[in-house]
Amino acid sequence: MTLMLDPQQQAARTWFESLRDRICAEFEAIEREAGSDARFDYIAWDREAPGLTPGEGGGGMRGVMKGKVFEKVGVNVSTVGGVFSPEFARTIHGASEDPSFFATGISLVAHMANPHVPAVHMNTRYLVTSKRWFGGGADLNPPLPREEDTAHFHEVLKAACDAHDADHYPRFKAWADEYFFIPHRGVHRGVGGIFYDHLEGDFDANFAFTRDVGEAFLKAFPPIVRRRMGESWSQEEYRRMLEWRGRYAEFNLVHDRGTLFGLKTGGNVDAILMSLPPMASWS
């Protein structure tokens, strides 16, 4: 990777990569607890864009595991830079003034084998245009919602938010409820979480909050997996999971900003679409 990073950019990139390593280690530990030897496979990629030589625009690492508990989980880290197209620049915060950009972040989606274990999404990122900001969040997506799991997930995220600003959780929860909504279905994608974007100004404070979101994910999700992964399930519950996955796929292909950003900036297509479930159905 030939991108030249300033200290803030390097600090963000280093954190996202370290968070990836810890998450992947925890998920592999869960597989071992279930009697599986599944491990993540990692594939490096370079950003592809007209006029760029390999590596000139950055790239990333795509990590995928298919196991007994995690039917398919992807954990990706990318660090890319370049110039937005004029049309796309108008849609990005601060890019209409200067179409050059830098972006680094982690993106995770897990689809589970057991319908009682919720799927989950987590993403945090740092972008630089004429402005600098953090964004991201995490949301729980159970095919068969359980009140106990939903409450735990939100309690952990709320604690992380409250440590920084009492306004963060209500504002970012409402943002998630609005964002993770499928308009053409009239339903939410899951049971919510938090979503934030364009968090700019004090780099140190905003970076500390973004780190705490990553730490909160590690506290919130693995306990739910361990609590539910041994439960039995029926064919009807499995059918409901496949149908729910169809809704998830619709959102990610039609409305998800991260999908669009990756495709518009020459990202790795397999990494971008790792959010799609391995199997889904439409009735």
> What residues act catalytically?
121
What whole-number distance in Å separates Cα of residue 13 and Cα of residue 100? Answer: 18
Q: Under a CB-based contact definition with an 8 Å cutoff, are residues 271 and 60 in contact?
A: yes
CA-to-CA dists, residue 87 to 95, 96, 99, 135, 222, angstroms: 10, 9, 10, 22, 41
Between CA 156 and CA 159 the distance in angstroms is 5
Residue among 66, 105, 129 nearest 277 (CA): 66
Please list the residues that pair with 105 across neighbouring strands: 78, 125
Phi, psi of 28 (to 5 degrees): -65, -35
At 152, phi and psi to the nearest 5?
Answer: -60, -45
